[in-house]
Structure 1
Amino acid sequence: MRVRGRTVAAIVMLSVLATVFVTLLVVDKLDEVPVAASTSVISAATDRGTQLTDEELKQLNTVIDLLETQYVSEVEREDLIDGAISGMMNALGDPYSVYMEKEVANQFSQSIEGSFSGIGAEVSLENGQVVVVSPIKGSPAERGGLLAKDVILSVNGESLSGLTLQEAVNVIRGEKGTKAKLEVIREGQAKPITVVLIRDDIDIETVYSSIDEQGIGVIEITQFSVNTAERFAEELAALEQKGLKGLVIDVRNNPGGVLQDVVEIAQLMMKEGSVVVQVEDRNGKRDKTYAKGGEQKKYPIVVLTNGGSASASEILAGALQEGAGATVVGQQTYGKGTVQVSFNQLFEDGGLIKMTIAKWLTPKGNWINEKGVTPDVVVEPPAIYSVARLHLTESLKEDMLNEQIASAQIMLQTLGYGVDRTDGYFSAMTTKAVKQFQQDYSVPVTGIIDEATAAKLEESVISFIRDVENDPQLQKALELAGRK
């Protein structure tokens, strides 16, 4: 059986498809704004003169025929076509341009609505490696200590090497309650570390707010989903009614989201007519989006960022920094400065194509791709934020040397227990610190880190991290937001 020319043309002519959505997207989370109507794939291809030549059709048909008749085992035509599409997308060398089969496309659509299950981490494929863009607030990934820029090597012993992004996502995802044991390469760690997570439903709420007795408010945005702008406007109005004197917008570990929503949020705090964002197409033509209906706020605004702040989060930080006099505090952002298009009606089976079609730039025309937004005030988090969580295969005791001990030493040091080193050698002073910790937390005093001690140590560290008083980035942001 041979593939008809019309079928192959439809596969190749992806860029002239049906319903188009402009997106600012981190892979595994598509964020959409309709901008174009549908059209005929074939007629558009004909008009543009981009149909396959007879020679190209012959090449594709020859390979398919060869595989179907000569390969060592039977192959499914559907798998070959899916592979051909994935191959074309991979040839772009762009981690944000991918093909998703029906199942992954459905999961993708669920994540747009803010509802899905898994480990709760946005990932991309960079140089053949699965890289964490950001863990989502309150997710297993965040609770388990997964960080932006972590490279995931394997899941439950299954290597991700050589997999497409879709295949890797399929391995990482799973049903609620199932275990995902990740082998991870982390910057600053000499060897791969192990992160064990229990998959769960991911919280659909994206906006959280609070205000202190001085009138300094905090609005945390965990991602930009379809209702985030509306929720932000509600929370901002509520804070202003309470006498808001300064505002911190926390987009740390926010992987991005819907372009329309981030624009609506930004223009709430920008003078009407000021530029929110610019989009530059392949020909260098720039379209500017202007703020409307909002106003320049009289109270200080601080945007809090880190390496997991990506895409739409960077648009917000850049827009308010350059166009509303806001102060950006924290760490350099992720550096995703491209715009994607989603073609969600290409295939009858429900498959989905998304690909990069433009750059986005800050109000002043800066392209932050692979660079990120630079904070006005740099504040690094404590070492405890990046330490690998404990996953014991054996009890840890004096004179041993490994990465798990190094993690435990940093945890003990953070909690106020004196250790003389954090290099992974279990010294006599480390034993003394462990004994003191065990005594304070009613664990059998042995000086050995067993499962019970490790669990209590983890629990104590999580409690420490969740205490806002121990968050130097937030504390600095609150201080700056309180200045007149």
Structure 2
Amino acid sequence: MNRKWLAVYMTGSLLTGAGGAYIGMNVIYKEKLESTSSSSHKENEALSKAETAYDLIVNNYVEKVDKEKLEEGAIKGMLSTLDDPYSVYMDKETAKQFDQALDPSFEGIGAEVSTEDGKIVIVSPIKDSPAEKAGLKPNDEIVKVDGKSVEGQELYEVIKKIRGEKGSKVKLEIARSGLDNPLTISVVRDEVPQITVYSSIKKDGGENIGYLQITSFSEDTAGEFKKALKDLEKSGISGLILDVRGNPGGLLTSVNSILEEFVTNDKPYVQIADRNGKKEQFFSSLTKTKEYPVVVLVDKGSASASEILAGALKEGADYTLIGEKTFGKGTVQQAVPMDDGSKIKLTLAKWLTPDGNWIHKKGIEPNLEVEQSALYQTHPLQIDETLVQEMNSEQVKYAQEILTSLGYTTDRKDGYFSSQTKTAVKAFQMQQDLKATGRIDATTASKMQEAVRTAMKKEENDIQLQTALHYIVK
């Protein structure tokens, strides 16, 4: 085998749906792989055993066998013994989608999915994506796709089922912590533009506070970020908020470039440790930090590259993290191409924070833990039949939670459709220019969920953001 230079990645799998592109692939470093001309006697025996089994099945099994499927099955079998959800085999089709990682836009549902304890889970929906609009949230477990169970299936098999053309619909059955019964959420696939940096100036206590939201770390993110930061600094900001909530990851080259704006060379901003414990450290060239305070917003949807940034700013620059504990993804994978176009993505190393902490399956704790209000904890309504007074169901309970979070008064939240609940529904319908029937049909339910999304976008309802503003101004 010839020597090859292969890019090393770190991530779960970012499901972008129809196009099936995978972002969140953080290029850490390049490692030269070289095979030697000789191998041990024991290795030869193992290969001989595998070849014997292959020949036996191909030539003697009672029915003809697809050789390609047999080979793929053998590879999957070896990887399954590792008990590592991030070490996977990708067939030619999946590998092709994997390579389309950094398209400026893609079609799909716009959510990163990964595996956790054998479950297929949502890491984070992308900002303004169909997945976010439909009500998918971090840590949602995908139980069924279009009515069929995904139990025992590999991550990429589930991804293929969720992918589809723009305008088409996929129905996901979701298990969510705190709910007794699964949710069924329909998502209409659409184009998801990859705008990764959002910049604005917030005012609090008479001060101008810079705000930079990074939704993922793509090829152009660092350039966009530096330009936006420069413009904010020219305008005279007295502090800066970096928001990586719901950011599933991206290219480490982007993170590296951004960190060089904030972290000094006193500590490494990230460390890579191999199987033998040997560490490679990566440093910024910066000699002093910003003169203004910097705060970082994180939540359970902040994963992979976002955690590298959060860990580096917390431990390497003593900046304050506000929000919730992050996702917890601390391993490094390498995508190795096969001759037929397929790939094996294999875990090769761990990444560590500046102080040498491994955050895998643990996440990074914020300095100030702040949970969002009940508005951000509501669940999508599934109206199979109109909800009316005297009914008692989980859907009524969700509706009561939505109404309360929007400021309407209900006397209970236990799922019983009381007269006071009917009054609250009427008030909502009148506010929305709907016929005030006091009944929750599909139209009213849709308006309620739209009102929740609108309210969530109002800055005054974002407790984590408000905390960050007050922290800088104090």
- TM > 0.5 fold call: yes
CA-CA distance at 1:125 after TM superposition: 2.0
Q: Do the aligned partners of 1:278 and 1:289 also contact (CA within 8 Å) in 2?
A: yes
> Which of these residues, 48, 53, 61, is aligned with residue 44 of structure 2?
53
Greater displacement, 44-53 / 366-375? 44-53
> Which of these residues, 83, 91, 107, is aligned with residue 101 of structure 1?
91
> Which of these residues, 20, 30, 34, is aligned with residue 35 of structure 1?
30
> Which of these residues, 135, 140, 147, is aligned with residue 137 of structure 2?
147
Name the residue aligned to 2:347: 356
Name the residue aligned to 2:231: 238
User: Whole-Å Cα distance in 2 between the matches of residues 209 and 129 of structure 1?
Assistant: 36
Q: Do the aligned partners of 1:409 and 1:421 also contact (CA within 8 Å) in 2?
A: yes
Residue 480 of structure 1 pairs with residue 466 of structure 2: no
Q: Do the aligned partners of 1:145 and 1:386 also contact (CA within 8 Å) in 2?
A: no
Q: State the secondary structure of the residue aligned to 2:71.
A: helix
Residue 282 of structure 1 pairs with residue 284 of structure 2: no
Q: Do the aligned partners of 2:26 and 2:305 also contact (CA within 8 Å) in 1?
A: no
> Which of these residues, 141, 146, 166, is aligned with residue 156 of structure 1?
146
User: Whole-Å Cα distance in 2 between the matches of residues 19 and 372 of structure 1?
Assistant: 31
User: Whole-Å Cα distance in 1 between the matches of residues 199 and 438 of structure 2?
Assistant: 42
CA offsets 1:323-378 (integer angstroms, 9 cap, x no match): 112110000001111122222xx323321222211111111111111111111111
Name the residue aligned to 2:250: 257
Q: Do the aligned partners of 2:12 and 2:115 also contact (CA within 8 Å) in 1?
A: no
Q: State the secondary structure of the residue aligned to 2:269.
A: strand
CA-CA distance at 1:60 after TM superposition: 4.4
> Which of these residues, 217, 228, 247, is aligned with residue 240 of structure 2?
247
Q: Do the aligned partners of 1:102 and 1:350 also contact (CA within 8 Å) in 2?
A: yes
Q: Do the aligned partners of 1:107 and 1:116 also contact (CA within 8 Å) in 2?
A: no
Q: Do the aligned partners of 2:123 and 2:303 also contact (CA within 8 Å) in 1?
A: yes
CA-CA distance at 1:56 after TM superposition: 4.1
Greater displacement, 371-380 / 281-290? 281-290
Residue 330 of structure 1 pairs with residue 323 of structure 2: yes
The count of corresponding residues between Structure 1 and Structure 2 is 462
Name the residue aligned to 2:294: 301
Name the residue aligned to 2:19: none
CA-CA distance at 1:301 after TM superposition: 0.5
Residue 452 of structure 1 pairs with residue 446 of structure 2: no
Name the residue aligned to 1:91: 81
User: Whole-Å Cα distance in 2 between the matches of residues 306 and 248 of structure 1?
Assistant: 14
Residues 273 and 145 of structure 1: CA distance in aligned 2, closer, same or farther (over 3 Å): same
Q: State the secondary structure of the residue aligned to 1:473.
A: helix
User: Whole-Å Cα distance in 2 between the matches of residues 139 and 227 of structure 1?
Assistant: 19
CA-CA distance at 1:64 after TM superposition: 5.7
Q: Which amino acid aligns with 1:309?
A: S
Q: Which amino acid aligns with 2:372?
A: P
Q: Do the aligned partners of 2:10 and 2:28 also contact (CA within 8 Å) in 1?
A: no
Q: Which amino acid aligns with 2:283?
A: Y
> Which of these residues, 394, 403, 406, is aligned with residue 412 of structure 1?
403
Residues 68 and 49 of structure 1: CA distance in aligned 2, closer, same or farther (over 3 Å): same
User: Whole-Å Cα distance in 1 between the matches of residues 285 and 256 of structure 2?
Assistant: 10
User: Whole-Å Cα distance in 2 between the matches of residues 450 and 123 of structure 1?
Assistant: 32
Q: Do the aligned partners of 1:468 and 1:475 also contact (CA within 8 Å) in 2?
A: yes
Q: Which amino acid aligns with 2:426?
A: K
TM-score, with length taken from structure 2: 0.92
Name the residue aligned to 1:79: 69
Q: Do the aligned partners of 1:45 and 1:51 also contact (CA within 8 Å) in 2?
A: no
> Which of these residues, 179, 203, 214, is aligned with residue 169 of structure 2?
179
Q: Which amino acid aligns with 2:30?
A: V
CA-CA distance at 1:92 after TM superposition: 1.1
CA-CA distance at 1:126 after TM superposition: 2.4
Name the residue aligned to 2:6: 20
Q: Which amino acid aligns with 1:383?
A: A
CA-CA distance at 1:274 after TM superposition: 3.1
Q: Which amino acid aligns with 2:211?
A: V
Name the residue aligned to 1:197: 187
Q: State the secondary structure of the residue aligned to 2:193.
A: coil
CA offsets 1:210-230 (integer angstroms, 9 cap, x no match): 113432011111111122222
Point out where structure 2 has 5 or more consecutive residues left out of the alignment: 15-21
CA-CA distance at 1:47 after TM superposition: 4.5
User: Whole-Å Cα distance in 1 between the matches of residues 182 and 130 of structure 2?
Assistant: 19
CA offsets 1:415-471 (integer angstroms, 9 cap, x no match): 111011222221221111111111222211111101121121111111111112111
Q: Which amino acid aligns with 2:5?
A: T
CA-CA distance at 1:27 after TM superposition: 2.1
Percent sequence identity over aligned pairs: 44
Q: Which amino acid aligns with 2:128?
A: G
User: Whole-Å Cα distance in 1 between the matches of residues 227 and 76 of structure 2?
Assistant: 42
User: Whole-Å Cα distance in 2 between the matches of residues 236 and 188 of structure 1?
Assistant: 40
Name the residue aligned to 1:217: 210
TM-score, with length taken from structure 1: 0.90
Q: Which amino acid aligns with 1:228?
A: T
Q: Which amino acid aligns with 1:88?
A: M
Q: State the secondary structure of the residue aligned to 1:298.
A: coil
Greater displacement, 469-478 / 113-122? 113-122
Residue 421 of structure 1 pairs with residue 418 of structure 2: no
